[in-house]
Structure 1
Amino acid sequence: MATDEELLTRSVTDASAFEPLVERHSRALHGYFARRAPEAADDLLAEAWLRAYAGRHTYQASRGPARAWLFGVARNVLAAHWRGRERALGSVAVLAGEPSSDPWHAVDQRLDAAAVAPLMRQTLAELPAVERELLLLVAWEQLSPTEAATVVGIPAGTARSRLYRARTRLRTALGPAAPLSLTGDLS
């Protein structure tokens, strides 16, 4: 069975090599979109696959695993979606106090931890955007810190330190109410 990296590299000259990547990663990428923009998840997934296919020649195995590259494409598609929504809403969103290109307010409404949701929402919202994205990529998307670093475009060591800071802030804010998945070592 070919690895994702082999398939992605081979797909540049053999388009059929791209199909197994779609089969292997569609569910995870759809989950990524569904947790961040549920109303558009299907369309965003389709757009991500179109962009990944069109840009497959830009993948470099030396820069990280194919899975992280795909999540990077997904992140760019999501950012473009948010920018488009912002343009469509125009100044109405600014006057209403909505965030510019990171609609965290919509994501935080879907947190499962009902007992600590208000405090978790507040703490996550206060995190710098990159720290929040790293934490969510590792916790929700099950990416390794190194893969998450590739997605957000920072060095792996920097990602680990920012992820540590984000987890520490969350643990401190939640105190004894912290879910087990936050109290253990996720790196």
Structure 2
Amino acid sequence: MADPGNAEDDIDLIRRSLREPEAFAVLFDRHALALHRYAVARLGRDAAEDVVSETFLAAFEHRGRYVPYQADARPWLYGIASNVIGKRVRQELARYRAYVRGGVDPIEIGGGLVEHGVGTLAVNRPLVAALAGLRAVERDVLLLVAWVGLTYEEVSAALDIPVGTVRSRLNRARKQVRRALEGTEHG
């Protein structure tokens, strides 16, 4: 989200960066930490730096094609990050499975706590197993809504899919997660 104390919205920064490339650094400063937390939650600390770097590199390279549908660049940046993470889907699923087997988030094994509290996989094994069971496109929608707090419209813009598709994927993901969690209550 754009800094309320700063008159320059993300869209203005992106436009200015076309003339003054160094202006893009402000966008990085504004959003990198939140993107890093999201990448840590999805792939772990080791991969998060690379995801953020690749996200901002792609954003910088394609900033001329940014569609100014809103002043906040978060949906656009999370869409790029989701694509970067999607290329590492095996790594994400391996992380989920390791957590389910061992009961410990691989991030915590290194001695550090995850920065993002409830938004991490440290919640419980059944939830992690349910996330691992989702199709990648459903997992992306669910996590952008649940962990990042994007609206349906923002997820639509981020993933370049219709709002109706966001709703249906989110509905399927929620049902599947709910079924998976209900199956563990009695067991």
TM-score after normalising by structure 2 = 0.71
Counterpart in the other structure of 2:130 = 123
Counterpart in the other structure of 1:58 = 65
Which secondary structure state, in structure 1, belongs to the residue aligned with residue 148 of structure 2? Answer: coil
Q: Counterpart of 2:61 in structure 1: which amino acid? A: A
Q: How far apart are 1:162 and its partner, in Å?
A: 1.5
Which secondary structure state, in structure 1, belongs to the residue aligned with residue 19 of structure 2? Answer: coil
Counterpart in the other structure of 1:156 = 163
Q: Pairwise mapping of residues 48-127 of structure 1 onto structure 2 (< 5 A)? A: 48-62=55-69, 65-80=72-87, 82=88, 101=90, 103-107=92-96, 109=99, 110=105, 111-114=121-124, 117=125, 119-127=126-134
1:9 paired residue among 15, 19, 22: 15
Tell me the distance in 2 between the aligned counterparts of 1:125 and 1:20: 35
Counterpart in the other structure of 2:142 = 135
Identity %: 38
Counterpart in the other structure of 2:38 = 32
Tell me the distance in 1 between the aligned counterparts of 2:130 and 2:142: 12
Q: How far apart are 1:69 and its partner, in Å?
A: 0.9
Mean alpha-carbon deviation: is it higher for 39-48 or for 51-60?
39-48
Q: Counterpart of 2:155 in structure 1: which amino acid? A: A
Task: Provide closer, same or farther for how the CA distance between residues 165 and 66 of structure 1 changes in structure 2, counting only shifts above 3 A.
Answer: same
Tell me the distance in 1 between the aligned counterparts of 2:71 and 2:179: 32
Which secondary structure state, in structure 2, belongs to the residue aligned with residue 154 of structure 1? Answer: coil
Tell me if the contact between 1:48 and 1:77 (Cα under 8 Å) persists in the aligned partners: yes
Give the length in aligned residue pairs.
157
Counterpart in the other structure of 2:112 = none
Q: How far apart are 1:102 and its partner, in Å?
A: 6.0
Q: How far apart are 1:64 and its partner, in Å?
A: 8.7
Tell me if the contact between 1:35 and 1:107 (Cα under 8 Å) persists in the aligned partners: no
Counterpart in the other structure of 1:91 = none
Which secondary structure state, in structure 1, belongs to the residue aligned with residue 123 of structure 2? Answer: coil
**RMSD over aligned Cα atoms:** 2.7
Which secondary structure state, in structure 2, belongs to the residue aligned with residue 161 of structure 1? Answer: helix
Q: Counterpart of 1:35 in structure 2: which amino acid? A: A
Counterpart in the other structure of 2:48 = 41
Q: How far apart are 1:63 and its partner, in Å?
A: 8.1
Counterpart in the other structure of 2:29 = 23
Q: How far apart are 1:103 and its partner, in Å?
A: 3.1
Tell me if the contact between 2:39 and 2:48 (Cα under 8 Å) persists in the aligned partners: yes
TM-score after normalising by structure 1 = 0.71
Q: Counterpart of 1:19 in structure 2: which amino acid? A: A
